[in-house]
Amino acid sequence: MTTIVVKPSFWLTTGIRVEKVNNLNLFKFTEELGLRMQELLDRKKADILTTEEAAELEAIGELDVIFSYINAMIASEA
């Protein structure tokens, strides 16, 4: 069996944007990546997620955790 690995860095050029919120520059998902994450979550809820999609969802989730941490650090230093 082959292990599928999707790295969060895959979306560096297409899935990430910086948005000014209350004078802070915060990291956010692009609309496309946000929609893809929702689609994958819906497929997981319906129990029809493929192995490849599960790996993709895990990578997007990891990126979400990273953004949350970085954005919290930015906000705490403001």
Structural domain spans, the chain: 8-77
Give residue-wise pLDDT tens across range 23-37. Answer: 999 999 999 999 999
pLDDT at 47: 98
CA distances from 43 to 37, 48, 49 (A): 10, 5, 5
Side-chain half-sphere exposure of 49, counting CA atoms within 13 A: 20
Q: Is the pLDDT of residue 22 over 80?
A: yes
